Structure 1
Amino acid sequence: MNTFMKNFAAAILVAGLGLVGTIQAEEIKVMTSGGFTAAYNILGPRFAAEHNDTLKTILGPSMGKAPEAIPNRLAKGEKADVVIMVGYALAELIEQGQIEPGTRVELADSRIGAVVHAGAAKPRIDSIDELKQTLLSADSVAYSDSASGVYIQTQLFKRLDIEDQLLPKAHMIEKIPVATVVATGNYQLGFQQVSELLPVPGVTYIGKIAEPLQSVTRFAGAIPKEAEHSEEAKSLLAYLASKEVQPEIQSTGLDSVP
């Protein structure tokens, strides 16, 4: 074989290998809720680049009445390869038979924090008495329609014995990050999981609420039934739970799973 034919054959081989790589690339559909989104936005593109895949990200809360909520999306027949959401909401999907058995992977723990408008004085919330006084002194309080907000509305106010005083001035915010309505000045004080507060501009992060009153939310991922790319989904979840990505997980305000 002369030099020209050798080079021509090599070019055909390279083109063929490139075609194989293209054929093997998959679009993985990921439904993820707010608390893990900041970490996912860092780690997802890395995984996609390393595996020659693409990720189609669908955002929605873990629960609630909004049509964008992950359980409501699945109930309407929307397809996903991976769901990432609050652990107990995922457990309900597992009980309903919407998740492939044995595919749940624990990803991170999330604690509740608070923000005020950028430039406003930072109140104290790191002891029980300070948190109680801060809530009573606030003109308005906002919290989410997901796990942290449900806890605040149904348990935290009761535990502090301030439910009657707070409920008239406290409001559950649907669909959008709580910090956005604090940034616009519509609410004085906003509570949500720390990882959902930190990315929002226009607010000052105060810190986490007093640990004795803290509610820790576990985020977990799993593979829905009828997922089109279950093997790729397993690899993605394993990567998101791996030891080497924990610094990135923690940088977004989440805590590693013990």
Structure 2
Amino acid sequence: MSISKEQFSLSVALVVKSAFDDGILEDFIKETGLEPVIDWSPTTVIMRAISNGIRPDGVIITDDALADLLEDELVDTASVTPLVVSKVGVGVLRGSPLPDISTVEAFKKALLSARSVAYSMGGQSGLYFAPLLERLGIADQINARATRIPSGFSAEKLCSGEADLAVQQISELLAVEGTQIVGPFPEEVQKVTTFSGAALTGSVHQDQVRAFLSFLRRKAAADSFMKFGLDLQ
């Protein structure tokens, strides 16, 4: 990747893509003249790339993954910036009936009644959802007709007709036009994930990364995050 003096590279979890596309990136570029060049991937994919020697200027990933990078001294401690809190939810194609998922039993019934449930195996939601199905005792029934994707947006499978329920971080479900949120998982089985950003040690663009992360803490950015189901940490 060729980076100009006004650009810097970021590897960013998909969870914030909708909010970034909602004006955050455009506003930052307009105000500063700096342009983040973003590789959008699940945290697991970003971590794998870093372990293979890829070095973006900065990352926005789960706090657990960032802790591993801190331990390995791969990120600048002083640049670490808490960003958003995300919940996992269920989506349907807009206009479809909304199943009841208000209790664990209703949630199980909705999943079992679906023709196919789409979920991503590589993202944080899928890494949580697959074992959750085992805990709920319905893994075999759901996976026999599930639409599983390695990464990306599970709600795209609603639009293609391959699934009638999609499971993912709520902000990622909303990234796909035409998706209607049924709601978050019931609290008893909810997975709350926190995401933060940091500059990598050795980057010559640490100041630019820090400026962008600081921008993401402003009210305008917070409003965009909230619009897509994310709260600031």
TM over 0.5: yes
The equivalent residue for 1:15 is none
Q: Deviations over 1:11-38 (max 9, x none)?
A: xxxxxxxxxxxxx962121211110112
**Using the alignment, how far apart are the partners of 1:249 and 1:49 within structure 2?**
19
Cα offset for 1:103?
2.5
**Quick check: 1:87 aligned with 2:68?**
no
**Quick check: 1:152 aligned with 2:129?**
yes
Cα offset for 1:244?
4.9
Cα offset for 1:165?
2.8
Write the mapping of 1:216-235 to structure 2, written as runs, cut at 5 A. Answer: 216-235=192-211
**Using the alignment, how far apart are the partners of 1:247 and 1:209 within structure 2?**
23
**Quick check: 1:28 aligned with 2:8?**
yes
**Using the alignment, how far apart are the partners of 1:244 and 1:202 within structure 2?**
25
**Using the alignment, how far apart are the partners of 1:44 and 1:54 within structure 2?**
8
Write the mapping of 1:71-86 to structure 2, written as runs, cut at 5 A. Answer: 71-86=47-62
The equivalent residue for 1:108 is 84
The equivalent residue for 1:8 is none
Write the mapping of 1:105-254 to structure 2, written as runs, cut at 5 A. Answer: 105-144=81-120, 145-154=122-131, 156-254=132-230
- Structure showing greater Rg: 1
Amino acid at match of 1:197: L
Q: Deviations over 1:144-186 (max 9, x none)?
A: 22111111111x2234232343332334311221000121011
How many residue pairs get matched? 228
Change (3 A) 1:82 1:174: same
For structure 1, list consecutive stretches of 5 or more residues without a partner in the other structure: 1-23, 64-68
Amino acid at match of 1:188: D
Q: Which region of structure 1 is more displaced relative to structure 2, 91-100 or 33-42?
A: 91-100
| Ranges of 4+ aligned residues in structure 1 off by more than 6 Å | none
Amino acid at match of 1:134: A
The equivalent residue for 1:57 is 38
**Using the alignment, how far apart are the partners of 2:11 and 2:151 within structure 1?**
15
Cα offset for 1:46?
1.3
Q: Deviations over 1:203-255 (max 9, x none)?
A: 33212121221101111111112212111211111121234532121012112
Cα offset for 1:75?
3.1
Q: Percent identity?
A: 30
> Contact between 1:117 and 1:185, CA under 8 Å: does it hold in 2?
no
Amino acid at match of 2:179: V
Question: Cα RMSD (Å) of the superposition?
Answer: 2.0
Amino acid at match of 1:110: S
TM-score with structure 1 length normalisation? 0.81
TM-score with structure 2 length normalisation? 0.89
**Using the alignment, how far apart are the partners of 1:52 and 1:109 within structure 2?**
28
Change (3 A) 1:71 1:194: same
**Using the alignment, how far apart are the partners of 2:220 and 2:154 within structure 1?**
31
The equivalent residue for 1:38 is 18
**Using the alignment, how far apart are the partners of 2:189 and 2:222 within structure 1?**
26
**Using the alignment, how far apart are the partners of 1:196 and 1:204 within structure 2?**
12
Residue 99 (structure 1) aligned to one of 71, 75, 78: 75
For structure 2, list consecutive stretches of 5 or more residues without a partner in the other structure: none
> Contact between 2:123 and 2:151, CA under 8 Å: does it hold in 1?
no
> Contact between 1:36 and 1:85, CA under 8 Å: does it hold in 2?
no
Amino acid at match of 1:26: E
The equivalent residue for 1:70 is 46
Does the residue aligned with 1:148 lie in a helix, a strand or coil?
helix
